[in-house]
Amino acid sequence: MAKLTLDEIGRLAGVSRATVSRVVNNYPHIRPEIRERVQKVIAEHGFYPNAVARSLALNATHIIGLFVPNVVRFIFADPYLSALIPEISRACNAHDYTPALFLFHSQDDEQKQFQRILHASMVDGLIVTADRRDKEFMPQLIDRRLPFVLLGRPSKFSDRISYVDSDNRGGAYMATQHLLKLGHRRIAIITNSLNTAADDRTEGYRQALTEAGLTFQPELLAEGDFTELSGFAAMQRLIPHRPDAVFVVSDTMSVGALRALNNAGINVPRDMALVSFDDLPVAATTTPALTTVRQPLGNGALAVATLLDIIKSGDKAPRHIIAPTELIVRASCGAVQSGLT
Amino acid sequence: MAKLTLDEIGRLAGVSRATVSRVVNNYPHIRPEIRERVQKVIAEHGFYPNAVARSLALNATHIIGLFVPNVVRFIFADPYLSALIPEISRACNAHDYTPALFLFHSQDDEQKQFQRILHASMVDGLIVTADRRDKEFMPQLIDRRLPFVLLGRPSKFSDRISYVDSDNRGGAYMATQHLLKLGHRRIAIITNSLNTAADDRTEGYRQALTEAGLTFQPELLAEGDFTELSGFAAMQRLIPHRPDAVFVVSDTMSVGALRALNNAGINVPRDMALVSFDDLPVAATTTPALTTVRQPLGNGALAVATLLDIIKSGDKAPRHIIAPTELIVRASCGAVQSGLT
DNA sequence: AGCGCCTTTGAGAGCGCTCTCAAAACAAAA
DNA sequence: TTTTGTTTTGAGAGCGCTCTCAAAGGCGCT
């Protein structure tokens, strides 16, 4: 099958290239008879317009980039990304956009390509995952006037950029309150102060404590880094301080924490209540299953919708979307008895 | 910053567009003095060539597509994909290509876009994950002369298409032999006959049994579908038949199988040896940790390399890459004692 | 100086599409 | 029939790049 062009189809249908273009793009003001003739030729020969040429003419590629500055070493272990990517793909499909991946594993990788992505106009917009190093990218991104949406709360410039974030603070508040309602008073937390999302969760935890008339106890806070191992270690450090409950800001770390408790012969939820965050698939399969905070709407899909809105409307006014959370009560908090699989 | 073009840079440097193009693309036959002058102007104004225009002129986009026909419902649960995507991204980065994602969640999704991907020439090539429905795509793909590489063994047309596959059969043979060497004779298998990779693994298992003078026992084979839950159920069905060892063709199912054994009060490895396949991160964290078959080289990276070779060389002769496997011995087979974390 | 040869540069076509603008076709009104 | 107005169509420029081809420039030779 020779490569077909508008001209070629036009020749076959006895009309001009412009007319074929109109038919393909469903423009009005075409005689039905001509339209049909052209459509027949197209159907017969299987014409598909060349996406690149179209992009050049329209100055728009219908490609959006997913830019992840700092891919964790063992990405396999990053359930956030694994969930995000298909979600974004799906949202793009629904809107006839194509997602392109820009995952960077090293700063070298990244520096080399960031400028190109920014200026080569091969993407119509960018979804950027938040990162400690926001500050480096944001100014350039803002400057370049390339539409983009940040996934997560920016550490800076929040009033000048669009972002989609979960209600981390609210979710953590809910989680902590749940433990308080169950009668716990020495509530520990395993968090990760290097991460803004985790930080917001700590904030919600503190707020709930304060409102309950309790004071925050520094020795009941342990740091992790979102890995299971770090959750394990953090829990081990907390055990000597005898908390009666623990709020772990991510399911991954909860898995490690459970293991530490198990090793120490501490039964969850009998001896220690645990509430987690994220509701990853693993949360339902641990023993006991995790009571955890879920965000029902996919942030990835929201980000895509927001980005496309910016692109299509041309209105760059920053949009701030905070996705709500809900508490999924399972066994680990002790509010229910059974340890279902 | 106004949008810069070759013409603009040329004007600023007092040369023609063609000369600037030559400088940008590092062509020989340019007077050093001119080259420097142009480079200076480019550096000063921060020029980046427009990728789309270049693609049109070169009839090549430097984008390759990752085409996944049948994304499992809960993709979060698909460790294969989660590992694959960053791997491919990385390999693309290294070769200055951009990966585009075509993940399809429904046949509708898919049908709508497959033709477009195929004909719109927005990608230079495709990496396609193998699937039961190979047959539908392969002929069109072959026909279209779009370079592509299949990840996994094709169920058909193997002599006409390029593919990268793990040595599933060899790995399974090794795993089974390991169990045989440990003295086990009633070796069960949990597999998934709907999947070619799992099928190849079953094949290797049978071969090892046969070579050891044992005959394959149908009641010792249970079907799963790669989910943890199906592994759990499959193991429950096997237990009554009293195997003394089990080969599970994927780590995910092994996790479920372990849970079933645990529930039944059967200790692994004391009462039952288990060998798995994949060496996903989870394999190291189960209790006991899984003895499992790993493929050391990333198939994703191999696929990218192969695809780019096809694209760049223009030689479409089918390439068949079989990636070797190795056995990672941990606790679940009983060959070592300790149940390390 | 005149000639031929090699290197360096620019003009211009071409990639396949969109979109403006003016011409052509048609319909309705005079 | 002519005129006016509306709809439909085509010609052609433009998107920003590459690449061919021919012209210009530089060089050494006779």
Q: Which nucleotides of C are covered by protein (CB under 7 A)?
A: 7-12, 14-20
Measured between alpha carbons, how far is residue A80 from residues A196, A325, A326 in Å? 15, 16, 18
Q: How far is B62 from chain A (nearest CA, A)?
A: 11
Cβ neighbors of A40 (< 8 A, separation 6 or more) are A13
Nearest to B76 among A50, A79, A104 (CB): A79
Nearest to A276 by CA among A339, A211, A327, A224: A327
Residue B334 placed within a domain: no
B285 and B174 in a common domain: yes
Residue A242 placed within a domain: yes
For residue B26, say whether its CB is under 7 Å from any atom of strand C: no
B258 and B180 in a common domain: yes
Give the per-residue pLDDT at A97. Answer: 97
A175 and A246 in a common domain: yes
Question: Which of B82, B108, B124 has the most A C-beta neighbours within 10 Å, making it the best mutation to test the interface with A?
Answer: B82
Measured between alpha carbons, how far is residue A194 from residues A54, A82, A133, A191, A199 in Å? 44, 21, 11, 9, 7
Using an 8 Å CB-CB cutoff, list chain B residues near A46. Answer: 115, 119
Question: Which CATH number covers residue B67?
Answer: 3.40.50.2300
**At A105, is the pLDDT very low, low, confident or very high (cuts 50, 70, 90)?**
confident
Segments forming the whole domain that contains residue B231: 168-296
Tens of pLDDT, residue by residue over A54-97, are: 999 999 999 999 999 877 654 455 677 778 898 999 999 999 99
- Cβ–Cβ of A119/B46 closer than 8 Å? yes
Amino acid at B255: V
Q: How far is A326 from chain B (nearest CA, A)?
A: 20
For residue A82, say whether its CB is under 7 Å from any atom of strand C: no
- Cβ–Cβ of B86/A77 closer than 8 Å? no
B234 and B195 in a common domain: yes
Local structure of residue B235 (DSSP, 8 states): H
- Which DSSP helix (H) or strand (E) runs through A262? helix A251-263
Using an 8 Å CB-CB cutoff, list chain A residues near B85. Answer: 85, 101, 103
CA distance A340 to A288: 8
A155 and A187 in a common domain: no
Tokens linked to B268: 């692994």
Residues whose C-beta lies under 7 Å from strand D = A 10, 14-19, 22, 28-31, 34, 53, 56-57, 59; B 3, 5-7, 17-18, 21, 24-25, 49-50, 53-54, 56-58
Give the per-residue pLDDT at B72. Answer: 61
At residue A34, what are phi and psi to the nearest 5 degrees? -65, -45
For residue B122, say whether its CB is under 7 Å from any atom of strand C: no
Question: Which of A81, A96, A98 has the most B C-beta neighbours within 10 Å, making it the best mutation to test the interface with B?
Answer: A98
| Average pLDDT over every residue of A134-156 | 87
For B58, the closest chain A residue by CA position comes to A52
For residue B50, say whether its CB is under 7 Å from any atom of strand C: no
For residue A95, say whether its CB is under 7 Å from any atom of strand C: no
Residue A54 placed within a domain: no
Tokens linked to B79: 């460790």
Residue B111 has pLDDT above 90, yes or no: no
For A286, the closest chain B residue by CA position comes to B259
Local structure of residue B222 (DSSP, 8 states): E
State the nearest residue by CA to the C1' of D12.
A18
Nearest to A99 among B77, B101, B281 (CB): B101
Give the per-residue pLDDT at B1. Answer: 55
Give the per-residue pLDDT at A2. Answer: 65
Residue B340 has pLDDT above 80, yes or no: no
Give the per-residue pLDDT at B77. Answer: 55
Cα angle A297-A253-A249, degrees, rounded to a multiple of 5: 50
| Average pLDDT over every residue of A224-250 | 95
CA distance B179 to B172: 11
- Cβ–Cβ of A51/B120 closer than 8 Å? yes
CA distance B270 to B291: 14
Q: Which nucleotides of D are covered by protein (CB under 7 A)?
A: 7-12, 14-20
The C1' atom of C2 and the CA atom of B17 lie apart, in whole Å, by 35
CB atoms inside a 10 Å sphere around CB A156: 11
CA distance B240 to B314: 57
Establish how many alpha carbons lie within 13 A of residue A132's alpha carbon, considering only the half-sphere containing its beta carbon.
10
- Cβ–Cβ of A75/B82 closer than 8 Å? yes
Give the per-residue pLDDT at B29. Answer: 85
Establish how many alpha carbons lie within 13 A of residue A131's alpha carbon, considering only the half-sphere containing its beta carbon.
18
A189 and A156 in a common domain: no
Give the per-residue pLDDT at A296. Answer: 79
A214 and A138 in a common domain: no
Give the per-residue pLDDT at A158. Answer: 86
Nearest to A99 among B48, B100, B105 (CB): B100
Tens of pLDDT, residue by residue over B193-248, are: 988 899 999 999 999 999 999 999 999 999 999 888 999 999 999 999 999 999 99
B123, B100 contact by CB (below 8 A) = yes
Give the per-residue pLDDT at A26. Answer: 93
Nearest to B280 among A52, A76, A280 (CB): A76
Q: How far is A123 from chain B (nearest CA, A)?
A: 10
Strands B291-294 and B273-277, sheet pairing: parallel
Question: Which CATH number covers residue B16?
Answer: 1.10.260.40
Local structure of residue B156 (DSSP, 8 states): S
Give the per-residue pLDDT at A1. Answer: 55
Beta bridge partners of A327: A293
Residue B94 has pLDDT above 70, yes or no: yes
Tokens linked to B145: 């002369």
CA distance B117 to B121: 7
Nearest to B5 by CA among B72, B66, B50, B60: B50
Strands A63-68 and B148-151, sheet pairing: unpaired
Q: Which residue has the higher pLDDT, A243 or B78?
A: A243
B109, B318 contact by CB (below 8 A) = no
Q: Which residue has the higher pLDDT, A105 or B308?
A: B308
Give the per-residue pLDDT at B102. Answer: 95
| Average pLDDT over every residue of B150-168 | 91
CA distance A181 to A188: 15
B246 and B129 in a common domain: no
Considering A294, A310, A332, which residue would you say is the last residue of a domain?
Answer: A294
Q: How far is A52 from chain B (nearest CA, A)?
A: 6
- Cβ–Cβ of B120/A90 closer than 8 Å? no
Give the per-residue pLDDT at A123. Answer: 97
Q: Which residue has the higher pLDDT, B174 or B145?
A: B174
Using an 8 Å CB-CB cutoff, list chain B residues near A118. Answer: 48
Residue A177 placed within a domain: yes
Nearest to B99 among A86, A92, A100 (CB): A100
**At B339, is the pLDDT very low, low, confident or very high (cuts 50, 70, 90)?**
very low
B315 and B174 in a common domain: no
Amino acid at A173: Y
- Cβ–Cβ of B76/A341 closer than 8 Å? no
Nearest to B101 by CA among B93, B89, B90, B111: B89
Average pLDDT, chain A: 91
Tokens linked to A307: 């980005």
CB atoms inside a 10 Å sphere around CB B221: 19
Using an 8 Å CB-CB cutoff, list chain B residues near A48. Answer: 115-116, 118-120
The C1' atom of C19 and the CA atom of A60 lie apart, in whole Å, by 15
Give counts: helices (H), strands (E), chain A. Answer: 12, 12
B192, B233 contact by CB (below 8 A) = no
Nearest to A61 among B52, B71, B86 (CB): B52
- Going through B30-106 in order, the beta strands assigned E by DSSP cover 63-68, 98-103
Residue A44 placed within a domain: yes
CA distance B119 to B99: 17
A310 and A257 in a common domain: no
The C1' atom of C18 and the CA atom of A56 lie apart, in whole Å, by 9
Beta bridge partners of A101: A66
B30 nearest nucleotide via C1' and CA: C8
Local structure of residue B326 (DSSP, 8 states): E
For B78, the closest chain A residue by CA position comes to A82
* Total of domains in chain B: 3
Give the per-residue pLDDT at B8. Answer: 93
Residue A149 placed within a domain: yes
**At A336, is the pLDDT very low, low, confident or very high (cuts 50, 70, 90)?**
confident
Residue B336 placed within a domain: no
Q: Give exposure, A180-213, as e/b (b: 16+ Cβ within 10 Å).
A: bebebeebbbbbbeebbbbbbbbebbbbbbeeee
Nearest to A124 by CA among A303, A312, A319: A312
Establish how many alpha carbons lie within 13 A of residue B161's alpha carbon, considering only the half-sphere containing its beta carbon.
33
A319 and A275 in a common domain: no
Give the per-residue pLDDT at A337. Answer: 58
Residue A123 placed within a domain: yes
A236 and A191 in a common domain: yes
Give the per-residue pLDDT at B338. Answer: 40
- Which DSSP helix (H) or strand (E) runs through A313? helix A299-313
- Cβ–Cβ of B93/A113 closer than 8 Å? yes
